[in-house]
Structure formats: C-alpha cells, structure tokens
Amino acid sequence: MTTFAAVDLGASSGRVMVGRVGEGLREAHRFANEPVTTNGTLHWDILALYRGVLEGLRKAGPVESIGIDSWAVDYGLLDASGALIGNPVHYRDARTENVQLDIPDEDLYEITGLQKLPINTIYQLAAARGTPQFAIARQMLLIPDLLAYWLTGEAGAEYTNASTTGLLDVRTREWSAPLIDGLTIELPPIRQPGEVIGEHDGTKVVAVGSHDTASAVVGVPAADEHFAYISCGTWSLVGLELNEPVLTAASRKANFTNEGGVDGTIRYLRNVMGLWPLQECMREWGSPDIGELLRQASREKPVLIDLDDPVFMPPGNMTGRVAKAAGLPSDTSPARLTRCIVDSLALAHRKAVEQAQELSGRHVDAVHIVGGGARNELLCQLTADACGLPVLAGPVEATALGNLLIQARAAGVIDGDLAALRSVLRRTQQVIRYLPRGR
C-alpha cells in the first residue's frame, strides 16, 4: 500500500507524520518550534524548522509523496538570487499594531472577503515596507511554499494559504491586481491543492491545503453539509464550509472571513483566540499535567472574559493578563484561571457558531471539534452546552489526515469529492460525542 508523508508545522511544534489511506498515522518525527526575539522583533527560526522537516523525511523512509502545511499569513522574502533575506517575522510580533492601509476596510472586504486581522500578510507587508530588507526583496513565499521551494527549487503560492494574505481576490481566486499594484516584490503563480510541485531526492512534493486550517477542514469527518467546525489548537477557527463567499456588510462587521478551501470551497469562519492563552499560562506554571488541571477546573465556578481582546495576542505574562481581565487577584489558582479561559472559549465558540449560521443562512445540527482541542473533554462538553448542539470531537490529527488525503487523491489511491474523503475518515477515525446538558 502507498505511504505518504504529511509535514505539519504548528505554532509550538512541527511534525512529520506518515500514513496510508484507511490506516492510522505514525509520527515519524516531532521537533520544537521555538520563536526567537532579536532586537525586539519576534521571528520564526525557519532553518531549525527546515532541519526538522529534513530529519523527519529521513526518518519517514520511502514515501509516494510529501505534502506540507503550516499556520498562515507569515512569509519569507527572497532576494534576486533566491536567497532568504532574514528570518520570517512572527505574526505575533507587534510591528502591525498601528499599521493603516490606504484602502478603506469596506473596499478591502469587498475584494478579499477577509476579516480584519492585523496579522494578515497585507498588514505585515505594509509594516515591512521602507525597511532595507524589503528594498532588496524580489519575491515573497508563504511558509509552506518556502519550505517546498527549498525542497524542490520550485516557487509558487498554494491557493488556500494565499487566500489568507489579504492580497487575493475572493472571486477570481488570483492575486488582486489593485491590491498588488505598486508592490515592489513579485508574488509567485497560484497553485491548487493536488498539483505536483516538484521532486525532493526523487520523491514528489505535492501541494495540499497548505494552510493548516484548510487541511483540518478536509479532515472533518462530517456526514453532510449541516455542520459547523472548530479547528481547535493555538487558535479556534470556527465556521462553516460554503460554496460561495458571504460578503455582506453584516458579515464584515461581525469580522467573518471567507478563506479559500480545498476543491473550491469557502471556509467561512472567525478566528477565536483558541487555546493560546491556556498554553501560555501552562508555560508559566511549568507545564503541569493538563488532565489533572482540567479535572480541578471543572469543579471551579466560571468567570468570563472576552478572549477576542487583542491584549491576549503577544506571548508572556498571560496569567497576569487573564487575572486582570477577569477581575481576579494576581495569585488566583491555576484551576480557577483555567476554568475562566475554557468557559470563555466555549462561549466564544457558541457566538461564532450562531453568527456563522445567521450570516450565511446555513443551518447546522452538529459541531465538529478537530485538532488538539478535541482532547480537552471539559472544553468539548462546555462547547456542547453553550451551543446547545452535539459536539463530535476528533480526529485530533485532522490536519495531517487532510494533508494526507489530498496527496492520496493526487496519487490516484482514492478518488471522489470531499464527502468521499470524509467517508473514509468516518470509517477509520474515532469520534467522541458530547451531548448538550441543561438547556
């Protein structure tokens, strides 16, 4: 049977997973993703990540093809010789805080369909403009495209990830001429998931939904279209899979985004802060056992905070920021702070699930939680309670599975639409059902 390697880079670690259709995934290699601050700027350590990818591919052994996905919006700049200029800047860096674009928000939404998020590439490029590095830059490659370029020598921009930049036209699915007008750097041609990018040491590198959230949505084991998904990890990406974008003023005001999905779908969603505040608190507490912490938290009384507040974006001193927002003393116990974050997240999930339905007119009767958050029983139950809908939790590895399925289809091992790919997941992946309590 044919084996595939899925490279999946997350905000805190990267993995190379190996698997076959209909079987489980094996983790060939996991490596830390540790951002580094120099001269006050937060960077990704991209060469360490690339080394991790190479090491993982070596450990994976012979495979039919390789697919790469990662978080979105961040990029590397290349000079005229194709060399990387400096380390890619982390989207959590403060450089975009006060950036203003020339174009009004309404017009930008009309073209791109994207929620207003300062992390989006368009704001990052505006912040970078005028720097000496930008002056010598000739090309921009998003993170998975940069790694694919190093593996194969081929430059391109995979569509689902390009759709998060704020430079793509949501209708034509190409770079927007008015938005890239005047940009002194070249944006490479768009390529679609399933296309062969090139070869690395004789193995094909195939474009997948290279935005991790796009691959995660492929990996949602939904039975029909009446589902909401929450791709829950560092972020919670909460939304629906649609065929057409929703570009109304109400949608813009609710800050909903129309990102490009695999097979021409639209990922109509909101970025909710996700488990990031809890991950940061855990780091401060010296990484205690999460199971025990959640058990203790389940016995605490809820206190709610607004997780959308940009005050929670940067790393560091998260316990202090959460306690302050909740009006709790700075020595509040980890269990209480955990309960506060998890409850607030469940409520934010509910708000986004409800708004997505209202704004799109699509009704849902189940919420799928995929990604690491599917392991968090307290969060899954509280989300079911808040939404008043069954939550179907799993697979945890939806992103790597979505990555692998698109490679498998490209190789001709399986065929069919997203529904067909999802039926494979329903047959092979464990899903835990949480029913809503007490409404």
Residues acting as catalytic residues: 212
Q: Is 109 in the site for ligand LFR (CB under 6 A)?
A: no
Give the residue from 31, 23, 21, 20 showing the smallest Cα distance to 61: 20
**Site map 118..157 versus ligand LFR, x via CB under 6 A:** -x--------------------------------------
| Residue from the set 44, 75, 91, 434 that interacts with ligand LFR by CB under 6 A | 91
By beta-carbon proximity to ligand LFR, the closer residue of 267 and 339 is 267
Tokens of 102: 């020339």
Least CB distance from residue 64 to ligand LFR, whole Å? 26
Least CB distance from residue 364 to ligand LFR, whole Å? 20
**Distant-in-sequence, close-in-space partners of 37: CB < 8 Å, separation ≥ 6:** 43
User: Coil, helix or strand for 270?
Assistant: strand
Report the 10 Å Cβ neighbour count for 330.
Answer: 8
Footprint (CB under 6 A) of ligand LFR, residues 252-311: 271
Q: Is 213 in the site for ligand LFR (CB under 6 A)?
A: yes
Q: Is 159 in the site for ligand LFR (CB under 6 A)?
A: no
| Residue from the set 7, 46, 63, 72 that interacts with ligand LFR by CB under 6 A | 72
Least CB distance from residue 32 to ligand LFR, whole Å? 16
Do 214 and 160 contact (CB within 8 A), yes or no?
yes
Task: Give me the phi and psi of 163, to 5 degrees please.
Answer: -70, -10
Cα–Cα distance measured from residue 337 to residue 278, given in angstroms and rounded to the nearest whole number: 9
Tokens of 279: 């991950």
**Site map 382..411 versus ligand LFR, x via CB under 6 A:** ------------------------------
By beta-carbon proximity to ligand LFR, the closer residue of 237 and 297 is 237
By beta-carbon proximity to ligand LFR, the closer residue of 150 and 235 is 235
β-strands 227-232, 366-370 pairing: parallel
Do 234 and 271 contact (CB within 8 A), yes or no?
no
By beta-carbon proximity to ligand LFR, the closer residue of 119 and 220 is 119
| Residue from the set 73, 170, 352, 364 that interacts with ligand LFR by CB under 6 A | 73
Cα–Cα distance measured from residue 53 to residue 143, given in angstroms and rounded to the nearest whole number: 13
By beta-carbon proximity to ligand LFR, the closer residue of 200 and 211 is 211
**Site map 227..256 versus ligand LFR, x via CB under 6 A:** -------xx-x-------------------
Cα–Cα distance measured from residue 292 to residue 415, given in angstroms and rounded to the nearest whole number: 43
Give the residue from 164, 79, 45 showing the smallest Cα distance to 114: 164
Length of the chain counted residue by residue: 439
How many H-runs (helices) and E-runs (strands) does the chain carry? 16, 19
Least CB distance from residue 357 to ligand LFR, whole Å? 20
DSSP code at position 65: E
Least CB distance from residue 153 to ligand LFR, whole Å? 25
Stretch that binds ligand LFR, among 205-213, 286-294, 357-365, 377-385 (CB under 6 A): 205-213
By beta-carbon proximity to ligand LFR, the closer residue of 64 and 280 is 280
β-strands 139-142, 75-78 pairing: antiparallel
By beta-carbon proximity to ligand LFR, the closer residue of 271 and 429 is 271
How many binding residues for ligand LFR (CB under 6 A)? 12
Least CB distance from residue 187 to ligand LFR, whole Å? 18
Least CB distance from residue 160 to ligand LFR, whole Å? 10
Cα–Cα distance measured from residue 1 to residue 353, given in angstroms and rounded to the nearest whole number: 39
Cα–Cα distance measured from residue 85 to residue 81, given in angstroms and rounded to the nearest whole number: 10
| Residue from the set 158, 212, 280, 397 that interacts with ligand LFR by CB under 6 A | 212
User: Would you list the DSSP string of 350-395?
Assistant: HHHHHHHHHHH----SEEEEESGGGG-HHHHHHHHHHHTS-EEE--
Least CB distance from residue 163 to ligand LFR, whole Å? 11
Give the residue from 82, 181, 173 showing the smallest Cα distance to 122: 181
What are the residues binding ligand LFR (CB under 6 A)? Answer: 71-73, 91, 119, 211-213, 234-235, 237, 271
